[in-house]
Amino acid sequence: MKSFRSLSHCKFSCKYHVIWCPKYRRKVLVGKVAERLKELLEEKAANLGVEILESEIMPDHVHLLLDAKPTEAIGVVIGRLKGYTSRYLRKEFPELKRQLPTLWTNAYFASTVGGVTLSTLKKYIESQKDK
């Protein structure tokens, strides 16, 4: 059964697969840095009202499966997650400041994740006048 979240004026399911990398794709997301990053992501996501459905911290990139509110632009959500984690990780792990001018690249990947294929959705919309 598909789960939907609610706001006062809508029901929604806005799921995104998100990826971003440290500057120069350096392999700095290991050990205690990776553990702390996961904690910080959970903290900030909860603060933003975003649900992290799945996460994986690789040495040189981050994968997240997010369920975000439709009122928040995914680029803004990612920017807030990256900004928050960078600020605290660089404060708690000073070696990151020595290794990199900034923790994250400006770039990211974001793709929506749906419950049906694009062709199924197109057929459903096309068939609406026939009903």
pLDDT at 113: 86
> Would you call 16 a catalytic residue per the annotation?
no
- pLDDT (tens, 9 = 90+) of the chain, 131 residues, equals 467 888 889 998 899 999 999 999 999 999 999 999 999 999 999 999 999 999 999 999 999 999 999 999 999 999 999 999 999 999 999 999 999 999 999 999 999 988 777 788 788 878 887 76
pLDDT at 131: 65
The catalytic position among 16, 84, 88, 124 is 124
Q: Which domains does the chain have, with CATH numbers?
A: 12-114 (3.30.70.1290)
- State pTM to two decimals: 0.88
Q: What is the 3-state secondary structure (H, E, C) of the chain?
A: CCCCEEECCEEECCEEEEEECEHHHCCCCCHHHHHHHHHHHHHHHHHHCCEEEEEEEECCEEEEEEECCCCCCHHHHHHHHHHHHHHHHHHHCHHHHHHCCCCECCCCEEEEECCCCHHHHHHHHHHHHHC
pLDDT at 1: 41
